Copies of this chain bind each other. A is one copy, B any other.
């Protein structure tokens, strides 16, 4: 007798569960030690609420349902929008910074047949109040340190700028209707498609060069010297953040990546992605979202990162096999 599970979901048995709990506990201890208090938000939210935060976050929900009044609910796909709602609702009179963390399952729609998880356990932090680059540096350094405390040795963080590509497209006067395909190709790092896009748009050879070159710059602080012009402001921001991280002895884990594009639309500054060379996928990501809280009536700067704990756990195991 076979009892199927919904696609993208799985049972976790005691041996693995014990390790996931140990991982969560260690990360929580690091977050707590830095003053990040844990919160819980409901597993279901009104779609209207998620849409107020970000149209894409609302669409990313794997599962839609209805309440008894016919209002559309979504199984949350991300904690950041819910925490923005919570801060606006419950921390109205609190002087920032507000430091929060969470450990909870989310559900995200994934393409069929890809074998990706739809239900995944996230652990993450949100720092509300501090501006870039200080706030970003605190978030990045805390996550890197927490992963080290949890036993990872080879992890890295990719840092890009969510406004850089938008600024570049604006400076190059790329028509708005062309931008979403271009961003899609950038996020897949499909340079061939990018060159094709650039030609189709009729960009000048210099502009084409810029569009393909800038997003492929990736490495240490030296890559910042090779970008400028239309993206000078974003590059300057990355340089300041890198210097703060160097002061916190975190620079050796940083990969500056001018082509880093995150899917969700609410990022306004630094965008972040956590890697481990032992596995071939990102362990988590996040960034700065200075406009999201304002959409809930409480304009405050903010930055956060979410880790996929099953992926972090897999990276731990893969690192151990490599030892």
A residues sitting closer than 8 Å to B (CB atoms) are: 1-7, 9-15, 17-18, 21, 28, 37-46, 49, 52, 63-65, 67-68, 73, 75, 85-86, 88-90, 100, 105, 107, 112, 119, 296-297
Chain B residues near A46 (CB-CB < 8 A): 4-6
Q: Which residues of B contact A15 (CB under 8 A)?
A: 37
Q: Pull 10 A–B residue pairs with CB atoms less than 8 Å apart, ordered by A.
A: A1-B296, A3-B49, A5-B42, A7-B67, A9-B43, A11-B41, A12-B40, A12-B41, A17-B37, A17-B39
> Of residues A40, A64, A107, A112, which shows the largest number of chain B Cβ atoms within 10 Å of its Cβ?
A40
Closest chain B CB from A163 CB (angstroms)? 26
| Complex Cα gap A297–B10 (Å) | 20
Q: Are B90 and A63 in contact (CB under 8 A)?
A: no
Q: Is the interface of A mostly helix, strand, loop or mixed?
A: mixed
User: What is the CA–CA distance of A18 and B67 in the complex, to the nearest angstrom?
Assistant: 30
Report the copy number of this chain in the oligomer. 2
Residue ID in chain B nearest A63 by CB atoms: B65
Chain B residues with Cβ under 8 A from A107's Cβ? 43-44
Docked pose: A274 CA to B10 CA in angstroms: 31
Could you tell me if B64 and A65 are in contact, using CB atoms closer than 8 angstroms?
yes
**A40 with B67, Cβ < 8 A, contacts A3-B88, A5-B45, A297-B1 known:** no
Q: Do residues B6 and A73 form an inter-chain contact, with CB atoms below 8 A?
A: yes
Q: Provide the residues of chain B in CB contact with A39, threshold 8 Å.
A: 11-14, 17
Residues of B near A38 (CB, < 8 A) are 14, 17-18, 21
CA distance A5 to B89 in the complex (A): 11
A257 CB → nearest B CB, Å? 33
Closest chain B residue to A69, Cβ basis? B7
A119 to B7, CA, bound (A): 23
Residues of B within 8 A of A73 (CB): 6, 63
Closest residue to A32 on the B side, CB-wise?
Answer: B18
Which chain B residues lie closer than 8 Å to A86 at the CB level?
A: 11
Q: A15-B37, A63-B65 are in contact. List 7 more A-B contacts (CB 8 A).
A: A6-B42, A6-B44, A6-B73, A11-B90, A13-B39, A44-B107, A75-B75
